[in-house]
Amino acid sequence: MSVLTREGPDELLPGAPETSRPPGAPRRLLRRRRLWRRPVFLEAFTWLYLIWSIVPIGIAVLFSFNKGRSQSVWQGFSWRWYVTDPTNSVLHNPELHQAVVQTLVLAALTTLITVPIGVAFAIGIDRWRTRTASGLNFVMIFSFVVPELLLAIALFFVVTVLLRVVPLGTPAEVAGLVVWNLSWPAIVVRARLVTIGRVYEEAATDLGASRMRAIGRVLMPMLLPAIFASAVLVFAGVVDDFVIVEQLSSTAATQPMSVLIYSNVHGGLAGPALNALATLMLAFSLVVAGLGYVAYRFMTRGERRTTTEALTSIAGM
């Protein structure tokens, strides 16, 4: 007597007798189905991508601690290229040391200028509902549409032809970085504004607060997580920016770490000292991102429950 099945002889309909089932057949079929449904190709591609991306960075970081000058033969662990070498280390080489200082100066100045302007821009666009505001909303995301190289060349012509009062070097670099990174705080803060809504401001105005006092005493404290997240994004982005600062730098004294590393490697002057400089640049970005994540989680405790939600919020997604 045959047993009715849904999709084949190995799957029994509900109520079918167990004695008619071939031993081990359902388990084999279930195992095959799980293997078929598992995204093996996607997992393999993801691991290959991670290996392709991380392994070269790990090798560069490893040889920044090499005792000798070799870039291919490990000669022992040492802090020579960071602090101990009296002439070639990042601490003692004036060129490398100046690049670190210039990078931190550009990142700090750009963050201090960009974040307040971006926050004000986001509040104005979100609360000002007109056609002009819609046009400014397009301007806000303009830097995501225009290639960075094109914007860098345009800014170079602006500061050298139209606005000669802004000299090449640190002032021009800060101005260009502010233009390029202005969209980050505007988008992140506006996303937070959409989540908050207007009910808190309206409640404050109903209780007698003026519009500006409602924004300052009620809205701004609620925007602090988004403001901090946008500051982290801007700072980390400026640390490894290359195109804009390369076009707007004037002398070696105004070259940040990214430009110095590229110019030396492109000129055939690569060495463990440059690996140490690149490692510091990577460390700055990772530390800032890590601190930003921890601080964001602390400031939004009770609002977000998962790590993924916090990371996507910091990234402005």
94-314 placed in CATH 1.10.3720.10: yes
- What is the pLDDT confidence band of residue 125, given thresholds at 50, 70 and 90? confident
- What is the pLDDT confidence band of residue 106, given thresholds at 50, 70 and 90? very high
C-alpha 53 chain-centroid distance? 16
Q: What is the pTM of this model?
A: 0.74
pLDDT value for 123: 83
Rounded Cα gap, residues 173 and 242, in angstroms? 11
The percent of the chain in helix, strand and coil, each rounded to the nearest 5, is 70, 0, 25
Rounded Cα gap, residues 67 and 56, in angstroms? 19
In contact, 254 and 170? CB cutoff 8 Å: yes
- What is the pLDDT confidence band of residue 173, given thresholds at 50, 70 and 90? very high
**Which amino acid is located at 30 in the chain?**
L
In contact, 160 and 151? CB cutoff 8 Å: no
Give the least confident one: 241-245, 248-252, 254-258, 303-307. 303-307
The domain ranges of the chain are 24-56, 94-314
Give the least confident one: 112-116, 148-152, 217-221, 301-305. 301-305
Give the pLDDT confidence of 18-43 residue by residue, as tens digits.
Answer: 445 555 556 666 666 665 566 777 88
Rounded Cα gap, residues 178 and 199, in angstroms? 32
**Complete DSSP assignment for 238-305:** HHT--HHHHHH--SGGG--HHHHHHHHHHTT---HHHHHHHHHHHHHHHHHHHHHHHHHHHHTBTTB-
